[in-house]
Structure 1
Amino acid sequence: MSLLEVASLDAGYGELQILSDVDLHVDEAEYVTIVGPNGAGKSTMMKSVFGLTTYMGGRIEYGGTEISGYDPEQIIREGMGYVPQNDNVFAPLSVEENLEMGAYIRDSRPQEAFDRVYDRFPILRERSEQRAGDLSGGEQQMLAMGRALVLDPDLLLLDEPSAGLAPDLVDEMFDRIDRITESGTAVLMVEQNAKEALRRCDRGYVLVNGENRYMDSGDALLNDEQVRQDFLGG
């Protein structure tokens, strides 16, 4: 059974439909990437899974529970984390306070969970008392992922994690995502660096105009001549 199963999903914003009849699944501990041209609906797909768009039809199941129409807090309680592309840290708060915000549904402060995040991202331990807004772009991205990982989700949604990073930090970010999946957390990612994302992931989806166009292993999509010409720059 898939960890996440999306079937015939229709979704958008208000009365504006963006996604039409989209299918997608993620298995336990699997690394799945969504690529496609600008305006294809990739980020809308991520937001729809996390309950941030208008649900119009189809089915979303997570861990065997239908979550179609759930709000984000309900989805977090089901064991899913989400890192948006923009505004993904609380800039005026310290690093540690940001992690505390990630654990707001807990009745007590989960120090062990914070320690796991600090072990994964040691620079955050060094910066624990620093304002999140004063961190570098790469450090902010680590903090955003760390906050989503505080509750130890089974699935982590990542929307354009390399966006805005200096070129020398992009490989480091992908390496960190690799380690997250190696630890047993499944990842569903939208990524602008399509070639690198497909090279590293288990499976990929190509979304075009809000609809499924291709689905295959990352390597197969990289080696598909039509996919390369149309979406990967040849």
Structure 2
Amino acid sequence: MSADTERDPPSGDGDVSRKTVPDREGQSLLEVRGLDAGYGDLQILTDVDMDVAGGEYVTIVGPNGAGKSTVMKSIFGLTSHMGGTVTFEGEDITGLRPEEIIHEGIGYVPQNDNVFASLTVRENLEMGAYILDSVPQDALDAVFERFPILEERQSQKAGTMSGGQQQMLAMGRALMLEPSLLLLDEPSAGLAPDFVDDMFDRIDAINDDGTAVLMVEQNAKEALRRCDRGYVLANGRNRYMDDGDVLLNDEQVRKDFLGG
């Protein structure tokens, strides 16, 4: 398993060794190298490396405050960049604004405030294609096919929907431009327990259809069970990286980060 040298405790600053990433679609989509980032003058991430291959499903786990969400926001141009590079499909996107990154083919679903509560379901979905001259009907139809409840309730105000339905709407809006990579920040947060498995199944289906997924998830065991590869962050640094099932079954990772 790839891990930091000598297995320092979670508060340590060791770096992971790198493992060759299997490319499921023959093309590396995302490469993060030596990323330093934060908010204003506050640095959260230090020398973070990360890869997502074409069509791959990758999960980021770690304790609260580890910098997991900051990685996602940094990729999407929402933090202060302090060093390192972010490359997507061979193009340097470091420092681009979110609207420019959307053009490159990356969709992002934040954990909080991820729908326009006062707009209808259909209006929310149309907002997902705001960079286009017109809403692509085929993309809208594809979202409705994936999430039938959204078609049924397309005239309903988003703010009146359940948490799980709002999460589906947020994902549907991010899929309106048919991105090559979907960033999901804590998609199961706040969902009723009986809806969590359904949400994971829907993410699996999105990935099975060819969209690469990079996900931050609080339900670390379930996320690692389903993903191709996982990263463990602690104190804003890489700590472990390996196949999801390897991390899930590693004694040290389970003890330090998964509750035994």
Give the alignment's TM-score, normalised by structure 2.
0.89
After superposition, give the CA deviation of every residue in 1:147-175 in whole Å (9 maximum; x if it has no partner).
00000000000000000000000000000
Q: For residues 29-74 of structure 1, give each alpha carbon's deviation from its aligned partner in whole angstroms, at most 9, with x where no partner exists.
A: 0000000000000000000000000011101000110000011000
Which AA in structure 2 matches 1:187?
V
Question: Once the 2 structures are TM-superposed, how far is the Cα of residue 3 of structure 1 from its aligned partner?
Answer: 0.3
Alignment-derived partner of residue 107 in structure 1: 133
Residue in structure 1 matching 2:71, options 25, 35, 45: 45
State how far apart, in whole Å, the 2-side matches of 1:207 and 1:157 are.
17
1:147 maps onto 2:173 in alignment: yes
Amino acid at match of 2:230: G
How many residues end up aligned between the 2 structures?
234
Determine the structure 2 residue equivalent to 1:71: 97
Matches within 5 A, 1:17-96: 17-96=43-122
Task: Write the deviation string for residues 64-85 of structure 1: whole angstroms up to 9, x where unpaired.
Answer: 1000001100000000000000
**How far has the Cα of 1:180 moved from its partner?**
0.3
Tell me, in whole angstroms, the C-alpha distance in 1 between the residues paired with 2:151 and 2:114.
19
1:32 partner SS: strand
State yes or no: 1:126 paired with 2:152.
yes
Q: CA deviation at 1:98?
A: 0.1
Equivalent residue number for residue 15 of structure 1: 41
From 210, 216, 223, the counterpart of 2:242: 216
Corresponding residue SS for 1:107: coil
Query: Which residues of structure 2 form unaligned runs of 5+?
Result: 1-26
| Amino acid of the structure 2 residue aligned with 1:211 | R
Q: Distance in 1 between matches of 2:28 and 2:239?
A: 21
Q: What fraction of aligned residue pairs are identical, expressed as a percent? A: 75
TM-score (norm 1): 0.99
**Unmatched runs of 5 consecutive residues or more in structure 1:** none
Deviation of 1:2 after TM superposition, in Å, equals: 1.6
1:102, 1:209 → 2: CA distance? Answer: 33
Moved over 4 A (4+): none
Amino acid corresponding to residue 70 of structure 1 in structure 2: L
CA drift at 1:112 = 1.1
| Equivalent position amino acid for 1:116 in 2 | A
